[in-house]
Chains A and B, each alone.
Chain A
Amino acid sequence: DTGVSQDPRHKITKRGQNVTFRCDPISEHNRLYWYRQTLGQGPEFLTYFQNEAQLEKSRLLSDRFSAERPKGSFSTLEIQRTEQGDSAMYLCASNPGLGQSGENIQYFGAGTRLSVL
């Protein structure tokens, strides 16, 4: 257990439905990242937060995707009007951030596996 928790672990939904995932990072970590991983591929960056500020969004993050980190602690990733191509593992990671002590290691959660039928 890395200390990063994600909920739910699995989500099955019908095409067109909205889904929301939650990530609780390690409590003292300022940075929080979302990645998407499809079968047989490495994770692909989606977006990241420095505290509550969303600093970067990948072009992979279409307008159907939105992420928030309202209080600089937990984060949510919402997908609206899901499509079959959204089926993937969604991973969250956190690290202490720039200027913090310790190696710049990103600690990953176990992921939320989304299946869109």
Chain B
Amino acid sequence: KNQVEQSPQSLIILEGKNCTLQCNYTVSPFSNLRWYKQDTGRGPVSLTIMTFSENTKSNGRYTATLDADTKQSSLHITASQLSDSASYICVVDELRTDKLIFGTGTRLQVFP
């Protein structure tokens, strides 16, 4: 069982709409939770990074939330653009090993 699970696996939305991606994790203890954006054929690019004590972090139209009690995080994208089409990967830092545990990602497609 993957320690970081994301939903939905894929999502299609129209340009200008908002969407929310979910991440549930079992990694414990953890130090940080990250969201990365990965364009097809490219390496992941960091969007947000939250420590275990933070509840929210914004980066432009991207807002990440973290509930460490329920071990859930979400990434909210506001006013989507065509360039938002990518995979969004939730990543949790395992505290003991300092290792990043990656989710399988949510594939987002934004259509005009």
Contacts and interface: CB of A to CB of B under 8 A. Distances in A.
Nearest to A41: B104
Contacts of A106: 46, 100
Contact of A111 (B36, B43, B105): B43
A91 B43 contact: yes
A43 B97 CA distance: 17
A107 B46 contact: yes
Nearest to A55: B98
A104 B110 CA distance: 30
Interface string B29-48: 00010101000011111100
Nearest to A92: B43
Contacts of A108: 36, 43-45
Interface string B84-112: 00000101010001111011110000000
Interface in A22-59: 40-45, 56
Contacts, number: 49
B27 interface: no
Contacts of B98: 98
Contacts of B36: 108
B49 A43 contact: no
A109 interface: yes
Contacts of A43: 44, 89, 100, 102
A59 B99 CA distance: 14
A4 interface: yes
Contacts of B4: 42
A42 B104 contact: yes
23 contacts: A2-B45, A40-B104, A40-B105, A41-B104, A41-B105, A42-B91, A42-B102, A42-B104, A42-B105, A44-B102, A45-B99, A91-B43, A93-B43, A103-B49, A104-B93, A105-B46, A106-B46, A108-B44, A108-B45, A109-B43, A110-B42, A111-B41, A113-B41
Given A42-B102, A45-B99, 8 more contacts: A2-B45, A43-B44, A43-B100, A43-B102, A45-B100, A98-B98, A105-B46, A105-B49
